[in-house]
Structure 1
Amino acid sequence: MKNKWLGFACLLPLLSGCNDANSSISASSDTVSKQQIDTIITNINKQYPDASNELKQNVLNTAVRAIENLVFIKGGSFEMGDFRAPCEIPSRTTNRIDWSPDAQCLSSPLSTRKGANYLHKVTLDSYSMSAYETSFMDMEWMRQINGLPVAADNMVDGSIIKRNSDRYQKVVQYRKNQAARIINWQETKDYCQWLGNLTVLPFDLPTEAQWEYAARSRGEKRYYATNNGYLQYRNGQYFNPNTGYYIDYTDDEVNAGTSTEDRIGQWPANPLGIYGMSNNISEWTNDWYSPDYYQESPKLNPQGPKTGAEKIMRDGTGAMTFDRVNKPLMRDRYYPNNSFRCSLQQKTPAIILN
């Protein structure tokens, strides 16, 4: 995971990349400009004047890291939806499918019920997306500085964990490198817009079309958002029709896990450099859900239906890159298979390299 260490105090006023010596918090970055960092510092001090310097520092680190982790995705056109698969898969497993132009069968049994069977052309403007799902600790710093409870509950009774408890310390140690758990869609929206308020950049949730375009490496016909388009589990195997034998994956070939509690960035990224888009954790998008939306959606930058009762989630256990998951806005507890990542809704990169 590309976590740069931020926030070390400037030892010399003239040290390159350091912030104003009068500031109580500071950061440096190889990619985010001093001017952008100073803007974030100003906004933190203005919005949270009574917060401790330690908490401000953690929030600053979170905001700078959010910009560093953005992957710029050049816009383009692609066919969105279930792009079909061979009716008989040579490998004898849906985890390893090679697309061909004569593919005739739906790839997923859920495509018809969810509306993904309506293959349609979509054109997207350029945008950026986080290379990683939002971490538990990044969400925790946002919630702490805004006076919100921990986004974690006790397994026994569902009560929210208190920050001054032993259980909280254990949760922090165990989940600090895991994806944030989410109990409702609004929490994801609020987090991304909070980043936008601090950075003065248009952070938001990705649209459903943006999520799929990124997962498929700018619309390629990839069934899974892994380094090679396959799901290669430990102790997994596939049939080789050329030899007539099953082949086991070696440890070096494993590119996905079966747990919802894997570390962020644990498995290889897809060709765009985005991690965890085929990792058993469903991610919220900005769109309302309708099974018929693909029949009427606009070609250019679709935003989803104007209203609805459920929102769209993407990914999940065994889900392909086009599979749609509809969930109510509110869930009953913080499940480990519900998370999100933020996107940047602008046509140019957040970081302009000289």
Structure 2
Amino acid sequence: MKNKWLGFACLLPLLSGCNDANSSISASSDMVSKQQIDTIITNINKQYPDASNELKQNVLNTAVRAIENLVFVKGGSFEMGDFGAPCEIPSRTRNRIDWSPDVQCLSSFFSVKTGIDNLHKVTLDSYSISKYESSFMDMEWMRQLNNLPVADNKWDGYQILEGETIQRDSKEYQELISHKTNKIAKTKLWQEAKDYCQWLGNVTTLPFDLPTEAQWEYAARSRGQKKYFATNNGYRQLQGSDYYDPNTEYYVNYNNDVNASTSPEKYIGQWPANPLGIYGMSNQISEWVNDWYSADYYQESPEYNPQGPKTGKQKVMRDATGAVMVFERFDTKPEYYTVSFRCSLQQKTPAIILN
């Protein structure tokens, strides 16, 4: 459904979400109610009375879009972890595996090291998750509003200048944002991702947060299906790659059916969504989740709505670079840079109820 944005003036007053004439900022949406938009406007004006109308408008658009981009995920049960693979892959490539109940081998090289060989039942309540990773510009509006530095590194050639930030009144900043349209946000800290999602919650009065590790995997696997990649068909199909068809005994080239790359996505939504309608969960761009990391956690994880260990020194990262599968997990320090994220809505009902 195409969204309709009005900018500063309310051009279509009969549409749901069109705000009253006294508002200095306004928006319209086919999906988000007028009441919800009015709540967001009230919160922005109350929390940030000194911000410019232009910045408030950008923040309003960001908040409304965050709600529109939510995919409702109906709760259920699934087996979390490495659900196995045939020891001899008929297609002769890990990028194209079909699961069957008689699989005998682990799928991933890292399964034992990271504990995902401990396949365990998980049952989740319903929730919502963003169909896209957060964008650089949406995060930038939030950081401007809260007087936080630009969430990107300052470089000298190929070297990061530690401790230095890009100034927003500089030519360097203008060049940065000119090529950041529809690009993902990259954080230097796990806390930056956490803060952004919770800030969305403050502005919208909805329980936004980072997804738990279990929620991330359940959504990537389209409600727990035994698919190895979060693509439109569960396979990782690269430009110029092929697979062996045992029925014809010929190699088959993907040609126009490419759905992934050996490099990170160039822009948000570059490749097709998974069957649940979520993009970029197998796009070689790492994502934070809410959980602390423990290699032993899958052995002791509760079945219902697991939240991860209570404490730790490292955080869980999903969809790390490389040909990783949807159940693979990685540990990294919370200060690890260039990790992206998507937000989730921690409530059992959809944020948007269509008539």
Shorter-chain TM-score: what band? over 0.9
The match for 1:101 is 101
Q: TM-score, normalised by structure 2?
A: 0.95
> Per-residue CA shift, 1:20-65, capped at 9, x if unaligned?
2111000000000000000000000001101000000000000000
1:5 CA displacement: 3.3
1:261 CA displacement: 4.4
2:169 to 164, 172, 179: 164
Pair 1:153–1:77, CA change in 2 (3 A):
same
8 Å CA contact 1:153, 1:160 repeated in 2: yes
8 Å CA contact 2:17, 2:32 repeated in 1: no
Aligned ranges for residues 174-323 of structure 1 at < 5 Å?
174-251=179-256, 253-316=257-320, 317-323=322-328
> Per-residue CA shift, 1:127-174, capped at 9, x if unaligned?
000000000000000000000010011232433221112221121121
What do you get for the CA RMSD once the two structures are aligned? 1.5
Aligned residue identity for 2:276: L
1:247 CA displacement: 1.3
Pair 1:225–1:8, CA change in 2 (3 A):
same
1:260 CA displacement: 2.1
1:176 CA displacement: 1.9
The match for 1:340 is 341
1:239 CA displacement: 1.2
1:345 CA displacement: 0.2
Aligned residue identity for 2:31: T
The match for 2:65 is 65
How far apart, in 1, do the equivalents of 2:90 and 2:13 lie?
64
> Per-residue CA shift, 1:48-106, capped at 9, x if unaligned?
10100000000000000000000000000000000000001111110000001001100
How far apart, in 1, do the equivalents of 2:304 and 2:14 lie?
48
- When the two structures are aligned, how many residues end up with a matched partner? 349
Aligned residue identity for 2:310: K
DSSP-derived class of the 1:212 partner: helix
Aligned residue identity for 2:92: R
1:25 maps onto 2:29 in alignment: no
8 Å CA contact 2:93, 2:243 repeated in 1: yes
The match for 2:333 is 328
8 Å CA contact 1:184, 1:329 repeated in 2: yes
How far apart, in 1, do the equivalents of 2:17 and 2:295 lie?
50
8 Å CA contact 1:233, 1:254 repeated in 2: yes
The match for 1:40 is 40
Unaligned runs of 5+ in 1: none
Deviates more, 1:94-103 or 1:5-14: 5-14
DSSP-derived class of the 1:183 partner: coil
How far apart, in 2, do the equivalents of 1:93 and 1:226 lie?
16
How far apart, in 2, do the equivalents of 1:76 and 1:109 lie?
28
8 Å CA contact 1:178, 1:262 repeated in 2: yes
Aligned residue identity for 1:125: D
How far apart, in 1, do the equivalents of 2:90 and 2:33 lie?
51
How far apart, in 2, do the equivalents of 1:140 and 1:54 lie?
14
Aligned residue identity for 1:352: I
Unaligned runs of 5+ in 2: none
> Per-residue CA shift, 1:196-232, capped at 9, x if unaligned?
0010000000000000000000000010000000011
Aligned ranges for residues 1-150 of structure 1 at < 5 Å?
5-11=5-11, 17-150=17-150
How far apart, in 2, do the equivalents of 1:32 and 1:308 lie?
38
Report percent identity of matched pairs: 74
DSSP-derived class of the 2:197 partner: helix
8 Å CA contact 1:81, 1:120 repeated in 2: yes
How far apart, in 2, do the equivalents of 1:11 and 1:300 lie?
47
How far apart, in 1, do the equivalents of 2:270 and 2:13 lie?
38
1:12 CA displacement: 6.9
How far apart, in 1, do the equivalents of 2:234 and 2:15 lie?
45
DSSP-derived class of the 1:161 partner: coil
